[in-house]
């Protein structure tokens, strides 16, 4: 089982930000979003603790730095809180990396 699929199955393909579960003719659809991006320059890991299950809209907004996550899991740039299963240990260092390198660098542009 891939990391992306494991996280999506953990949340039954529902967005951790808005709880939307998109249904398509081929079944439920959600996207696996890396908190700290893979590859250079971010060098994030492809591990469950660095992946969120998001709807396509929130995935794009998160990747583009329009929204971020506080240490207490409240959302920045969006009303609400990130839903996190007790079976999902998020990497706080990845959340902080996203907030300082993705979110803050894009704000104001």
* Confidence band for 34, pLDDT divided at 50, 70 and 90: very high
Predicted confidence at residue 96, as pLDDT, reads 97
**CA-CA distance, 85 to 60, in Å (whole number)?**
22
Query: Could you report the per-residue pLDDT of 74-107, keeping only the tens digit for each?
Result: 999 999 999 999 999 999 999 999 999 999 765 5
CB 16 within 8 A of CB 54: yes
Predicted confidence at residue 105, as pLDDT, reads 65
CB 28 within 8 A of CB 37: no
Predicted confidence at residue 109, as pLDDT, reads 45
């Amino acid at each position: 089982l891939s990391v992306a699929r494991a996280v999506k199955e953990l949340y039954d393909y529902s967005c951790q930000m808005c709880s939307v579960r998109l249904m398509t003719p081929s079944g439920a659809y959600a996207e696996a979003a890396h908190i700290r991006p893979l590859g250079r320059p971010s060098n994030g890991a492809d591990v469950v603790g660095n992946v969120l299950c998001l709807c396509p809209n929130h995935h794009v907004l998160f990747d583009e730095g329009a929204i971020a996550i506080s240490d207490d899991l409240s959302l920045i740039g969006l009303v609400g809180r990130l839903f996190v299963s007790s079976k999902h240990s998020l990497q706080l260092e990845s959340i902080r990396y996203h907030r300082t390198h993705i979110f803050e660098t894009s704000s104001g542009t």
